[in-house]
Protein backbone atom coordinates (compact mmCIF):
# COMPACT_ATOMS: atom_id res chain seq x y z
CA UNK A 1 0.00 0.00 0.00
CA UNK A 2 1.43 3.37 -0.99
CA UNK A 3 2.08 6.09 1.57
CA UNK A 4 -0.43 8.40 -0.14
CA UNK A 5 -3.14 5.74 -0.07
CA UNK A 6 -2.36 4.90 3.56
CA UNK A 7 -2.61 8.54 4.62
CA UNK A 8 -5.80 9.08 2.66
CA UNK A 9 -7.40 5.97 4.12
CA UNK A 10 -6.33 7.00 7.63
CA UNK A 11 -7.95 10.40 7.10
CA UNK A 12 -11.24 8.90 5.93
CA UNK A 13 -11.30 6.37 8.77
CA UNK A 14 -10.51 9.08 11.32
CA UNK A 15 -13.47 11.11 10.10
CA UNK A 16 -15.77 8.12 10.45
CA UNK A 17 -14.33 7.07 13.81
CA UNK A 18 -14.65 10.56 15.26
CA UNK A 19 -18.43 10.26 15.07
CA UNK A 20 -18.29 7.72 17.89
CA UNK A 21 -16.74 10.17 20.34
CA UNK A 22 -19.25 13.02 20.28
CA UNK A 23 -20.85 13.74 23.64
CA UNK A 24 -24.41 13.25 22.43
CA UNK A 25 -25.59 10.49 20.14
CA UNK A 26 -27.60 11.22 17.05
CA UNK A 27 -31.29 10.43 17.36
CA UNK A 28 -31.85 6.66 17.56
CA UNK A 29 -32.97 5.68 14.04
CA UNK A 30 -30.46 8.00 12.37
CA UNK A 31 -27.61 6.82 14.59
CA UNK A 32 -28.20 3.17 13.68
CA UNK A 33 -28.37 3.90 9.96
CA UNK A 34 -25.16 5.93 10.08
CA UNK A 35 -23.29 3.20 11.97
CA UNK A 36 -24.50 0.58 9.49
CA UNK A 37 -23.39 2.74 6.54
CA UNK A 38 -19.98 3.34 8.09
CA UNK A 39 -19.55 -0.41 8.59
CA UNK A 40 -20.49 -1.03 4.95
CA UNK A 41 -17.97 1.61 3.83
CA UNK A 42 -15.18 0.18 5.95
CA UNK A 43 -15.91 -3.26 4.49
CA UNK A 44 -15.67 -1.80 0.96
CA UNK A 45 -19.34 -2.44 0.24
CA UNK A 46 -19.53 0.99 -1.33
CA UNK A 47 -22.70 0.64 -3.39
CA UNK A 48 -24.64 -0.60 -0.36
CA UNK A 49 -23.23 2.22 1.77
CA UNK A 50 -24.18 4.77 -0.86
CA UNK A 51 -27.72 3.39 -1.03
CA UNK A 52 -28.05 3.54 2.75
CA UNK A 53 -26.73 7.11 2.94
CA UNK A 54 -29.13 8.10 0.13
CA UNK A 55 -31.91 6.74 2.33
CA UNK A 56 -30.61 8.80 5.26
CA UNK A 57 -30.62 11.93 3.08
CA UNK A 58 -34.21 11.22 1.98
CA UNK A 59 -35.50 10.40 5.46
CA UNK A 60 -33.67 13.31 7.14
CA UNK A 61 -33.56 15.98 4.40
CA UNK A 62 -32.60 18.83 6.75
CA UNK A 63 -29.84 16.86 8.48
CA UNK A 64 -26.27 16.91 7.10
CA UNK A 65 -25.54 13.25 7.92
CA UNK A 66 -26.75 11.72 4.66
CA UNK A 67 -24.77 14.14 2.51
CA UNK A 68 -21.64 14.08 4.68
CA UNK A 69 -21.47 10.30 4.86
CA UNK A 70 -22.29 9.86 1.17
CA UNK A 71 -19.35 12.15 0.43
CA UNK A 72 -17.17 10.11 2.80
CA UNK A 73 -18.23 6.85 1.18
CA UNK A 74 -17.58 8.38 -2.26
CA UNK A 75 -14.12 9.46 -1.14
CA UNK A 76 -13.37 6.01 0.30
CA UNK A 77 -14.53 4.42 -2.95
CA UNK A 78 -12.29 6.71 -4.98
CA UNK A 79 -9.32 5.88 -2.75
CA UNK A 80 -9.95 2.12 -2.87
CA UNK A 81 -10.29 2.04 -6.66
CA UNK A 82 -7.93 4.90 -7.50
CA UNK A 83 -10.72 6.95 -9.09
CA UNK A 84 -10.66 10.70 -9.60
CA UNK A 85 -12.32 12.91 -7.01
CA UNK A 86 -13.32 15.50 -9.59
CA UNK A 87 -16.96 14.45 -9.76
CA UNK A 88 -19.63 17.16 -9.76
CA UNK A 89 -21.75 14.77 -7.66
CA UNK A 90 -19.08 14.70 -4.93
CA UNK A 91 -18.85 18.50 -4.95
CA UNK A 92 -22.65 18.75 -4.82
CA UNK A 93 -22.73 16.48 -1.77
CA UNK A 94 -20.18 18.69 -0.04
CA UNK A 95 -22.18 21.82 -0.87
CA UNK A 96 -25.39 20.28 0.53
CA UNK A 97 -23.55 19.03 3.62
CA UNK A 98 -21.97 22.44 4.22
CA UNK A 99 -25.30 24.23 3.96
CA UNK A 100 -27.09 21.74 6.25
CA UNK A 101 -24.23 21.82 8.78
CA UNK A 102 -24.26 25.60 8.91
CA UNK A 103 -28.03 25.61 9.40
CA UNK A 104 -27.65 23.08 12.21
CA UNK A 105 -25.02 25.14 14.05
CA UNK A 106 -27.05 28.33 13.65
CA UNK A 107 -30.25 26.68 14.90
CA UNK A 108 -28.57 25.09 17.93
CA UNK A 109 -25.10 26.47 18.70
CA UNK A 110 -24.79 24.10 21.69
CA UNK A 111 -25.23 20.97 19.57
CA UNK A 112 -21.77 19.49 18.92
CA UNK A 113 -23.02 17.51 15.94
CA UNK A 114 -23.42 20.61 13.81
CA UNK A 115 -19.75 21.41 14.32
CA UNK A 116 -18.73 17.79 13.77
CA UNK A 117 -20.53 17.66 10.42
CA UNK A 118 -19.22 21.09 9.45
CA UNK A 119 -15.63 20.08 10.25
CA UNK A 120 -15.98 16.74 8.49
CA UNK A 121 -17.36 18.44 5.39
CA UNK A 122 -14.49 20.94 5.35
CA UNK A 123 -12.02 18.09 5.86
CA UNK A 124 -13.38 16.15 2.88
CA UNK A 125 -13.27 19.32 0.79
CA UNK A 126 -9.66 19.99 1.79
CA UNK A 127 -8.62 16.45 0.96
CA UNK A 128 -10.32 16.66 -2.44
CA UNK A 129 -8.65 19.99 -3.22
CA UNK A 130 -5.20 18.62 -2.39
CA UNK A 131 -5.94 15.45 -4.37
CA UNK A 132 -6.80 17.65 -7.37
CA UNK A 133 -3.53 19.57 -7.03
CA UNK A 134 -4.94 22.65 -5.29
CA UNK A 135 -2.57 22.46 -2.33
CA UNK A 136 -3.15 26.04 -1.25
CA UNK A 137 -6.94 25.69 -1.42
CA UNK A 138 -6.68 22.51 0.61
CA UNK A 139 -5.07 24.25 3.57
CA UNK A 140 -7.01 27.50 3.55
* Average predicted confidence (pLDDT) for the chain: 87
Report pLDDT for 4: 63
- Which range, of 10-14, 120-124, 136-140, averages the lowest pLDDT? 10-14
Phi, psi of 97 (to 5 degrees): -65, -40
CATH of domain 3-139: 1.25.40
Check if the beta carbon of residue 65 is closer than 8 Å to that of residue 117.
yes
Q: How far apart are CA 108 and CA 110, in angstroms?
A: 5
The reported pTM is: 0.79
Integer angstrom CA distances of residue 118 from 23, 66, 96, 105, 125 = 16, 13, 11, 8, 11
48-82 per-position pLDDT tens digit: 999 999 999 999 999 999 999 999 999 999 999 98
Any idea where the domains of the chain sit in the sequence?
3-139
Report pLDDT for 43: 95
Amino acid sequence: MSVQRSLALAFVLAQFAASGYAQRLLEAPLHGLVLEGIELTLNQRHEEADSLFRLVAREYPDHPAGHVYRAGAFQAWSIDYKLALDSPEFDSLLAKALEASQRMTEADPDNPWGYFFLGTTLGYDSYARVYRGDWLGGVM
